[in-house]
């Protein structure tokens, strides 16, 4: 298979590229910085620049004459209270996490339609199902990509294209250190933001290795028809099951107890 992966220079994206490349697939990794790897071909592409996306797909198709799988993994995070977040920062994050995936898919579809069984995997996040306080915009962008994936599947199903939103839970990558933090927090939030982000970062650094996500991707691309939405790891599957059993109010209360730190001190 010819596979295109965005956000391929590190973390989950690189793990996906390395594993699929080692399994004999022809993998092209797109990222803002080019890396030198033996398992895949790296291309310098910014997913917020449509001209660069178009050129990359043209180049790959001209060489391979086929594109089988597109995996949208490029992403960024910001943390802080909603009140203290600059609109430009939120828009920048949506440009990468949501609109970047949208434009990659828009460019990819004419190529994917040429195949009888092609696939799109959008790497979203469990926060799309469990929105975390002080990480509202990241959660919102991933929820948007989840819903986008559901709608996309019904639009492209007649073409033989299968779509899946893959929602990782906590994964240990460099994403944690690269998360953008608000430069200031109003005194009304006290130390709540710092405490909440600290819990998130601890969870991430104790999370699963990115190879586990890569293995799931490898399993998915071998399927004739992928599920519309999946996660990785038994405990995260249990969390999703529990969410279906209880009210939204109850679930949000639990999230608040874990990350909200309601006392202002």
pLDDT tens sequence across 175-222: 656 666 776 777 888 788 888 888 877 877 777 899 999 999 999 999
Q: What's the confidence (pLDDT) of residue 189?
A: 81
Place 54 in a pLDDT band, splitting at 50, 70 and 90: very high
Q: What's the confidence (pLDDT) of residue 264?
A: 60
- 188: three-class secondary structure by DSSP: helix
Mean pLDDT of 21-49: 95
Q: What's the confidence (pLDDT) of residue 105?
A: 98
- Whether 189 sits among the annotated catalytic residues: the reply is no
- Beta strand ranges found along 127-265 (DSSP E): 161-167, 180-181, 229-231
Q: What's the confidence (pLDDT) of residue 207?
A: 77
Reply yes or no on whether the pLDDT at 260 is more than 90.
Answer: no
Q: What's the confidence (pLDDT) of residue 191?
A: 83
Are 119 and 1 a contacting pair, CB within 8 Å?
Answer: no
Reply yes or no on whether the pLDDT at 74 is more than 80.
Answer: yes
What is the rounded distance in angstroms from the CA atom of residue 193 to the CA atom of residue 135? 9
Strand arrangement, sheet containing 161-167: 41-44, 26-31, 2-6, 69-72, 118-123, 161-167, 229-231
Q: Taking Cα atoms as reference points, which of 18, 48, 9, 232 lies closest to residue 125?
A: 232
Reply yes or no on whether the pLDDT at 31 is more than 90.
Answer: yes
pLDDT, mean over the chain: 91
Catalytic residue selected from 111, 138, 189, 236 = 138
Residue 162 structure tokens: 């299968």
Domains of the chain: 2-259 (3.40.50.720)
pLDDT in tens, 118-151: 999 999 999 999 999 999 999 999 999 999 999 9
* Phi, then psi, of 45 in degrees rounded to 5: -145, 130
* Phi, then psi, of 138 in degrees rounded to 5: -65, -45
Q: Rounded to two decimals, what is the model's pTM?
A: 0.91
């Amino acid at each position: 298979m010819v596979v295109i992966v965005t956000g391929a220079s590190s973390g989950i994206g690189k793990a996906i590229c390395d594993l699929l490349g080692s399994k004999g697939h022809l993998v092209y990794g797109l990222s803002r910085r080019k890396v030198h790897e033996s398992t895949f071909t790296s291309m310098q592409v910014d997913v917020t620049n449509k001209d660069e996306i178009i050129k990359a797909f043209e180049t790959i198709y001209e060489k391979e004459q086929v594109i089988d799988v597109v995996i949208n993994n490029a992403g960024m995070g910001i943390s802080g209270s909603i009140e203290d977040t600059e609109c430009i920062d939120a828009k920048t994050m949506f440009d990468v996490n949501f609109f970047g995936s949208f434009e990659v898919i828009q460019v990819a579809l004419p190529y994917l339609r040429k195949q009888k069984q092609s696939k799109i995997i959008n790497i979203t996040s469990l926060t799309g199902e469990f929105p975390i306080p002080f990480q509202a915009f990241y959660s919102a962008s991933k929820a948007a990509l989840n819903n986008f994936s559901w709608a996309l599947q019904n639009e492209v199903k007649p073409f033989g294209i299968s779509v899946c939103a893959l929602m990782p839970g906590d994964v240990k990558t460099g994403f944690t250190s690269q998360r953008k933090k608000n430069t200031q927090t109003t005194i009304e939030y006290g130390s709540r933001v710092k405490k909440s982000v600290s819990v998130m970062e601890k969870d991430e650094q104790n999370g699963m290795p990115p190879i586990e996500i890569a293995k799931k991707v490898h399993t998915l691309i071998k399927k004739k028809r992928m599920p519309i939405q999946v996660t990785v790891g038994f405990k995260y599957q249990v969390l999703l099951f529990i969410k279906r059993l209880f009210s939204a109010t109850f679930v949000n209360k639990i999230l608040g107890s874990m990350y909200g730190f309601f006392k202002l001190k």
